Amino acid sequence: MINPLHVDFSLQRKPGWRQKPDATCDVYVVMARDGSGPMYVKVGMSSHPESRLVSIQTACPLPLLRAMAFTCRSTALARAAEGAMHLHLSEHSTVGEWFRFEWGEESKRLLETAMNDLIDQVDGRNLRQIDLSTVSRSVLERRREAEQARSKQLAAAMEKHRVAVELRAPYKRP
């Protein structure tokens, strides 16, 4: 039997959590499937789910097929929503935050209903599909920009070293 979806709002404030009180955070759901096999679903939270999806794909041997996210008004609320979703899907749990479903309409309805209930309970907003191809391209662009910045820093450091060496080099007196 599926656990009823209920967000425990007492989870919002745990001692020692380092969080900005007014920072928004997203709860995401990612689906992966290989061929005609079962569907694997990951539920998590992130301030930048698009960037998070890149590391998820790197760690997941199956291709990511679909991703969606919605915004919560605080990190604590997102954490409570994520926990409620994990509890709700617990009978399908595999490893960590991954859940296994047999492919079919029943599984799709279960996930869709759970997401809609969750959004209603936490007053979530901005439910959106995440375009996985766009995520890959933007991450590659950011990596290229970071690599160019590192190259510039290295060139500047080498130039500084060259100038320092030239200044210290002995010169012939006339």
Can you give the pLDDT at residue 141?
75
Whole-angstrom Cα distance, residue 9 to residue 7? 6
Can you give the pLDDT at residue 146?
82
Rounded alpha-carbon distances, angstroms, from residue 91 to 4, 20, 26, 98? 12, 33, 24, 11
Same-domain check for residues 121 and 150: no
Same-domain check for residues 79 and 36: yes
Do the Cβ atoms of 118 and 81 come closer than 8 Å? yes
Q: Give me the domain span that covers residue 165.
A: 143-174
Same-domain check for residues 56 and 100: yes
Between 75 and 104, where is the model more confident?
A: 75
Same-domain check for residues 125 and 159: no
Whole-angstrom Cα distance, residue 105 to residue 136? 29
Strand partners, 46: 26
Give residues with Cβ within 8 angstroms of 13, minimum separation 6: 76
pTM: 0.66
Percent of the chain past pLDDT 90, that is, above it, reads 2
pLDDT at 75 over 80: yes
Instruction: Give the chain's domain count.
Output: 2
Give residues with Cβ within 8 angstroms of 3, minimum separation 6: 87, 88, 89, 90, 91
Q: Is residue 109 part of a domain?
A: yes
pLDDT (tens digit, 9 = 90+) per residue, 33-50?
888 888 899 999 988 888
Same-domain check for residues 166 and 121: no
pLDDT at 93 over 70: yes
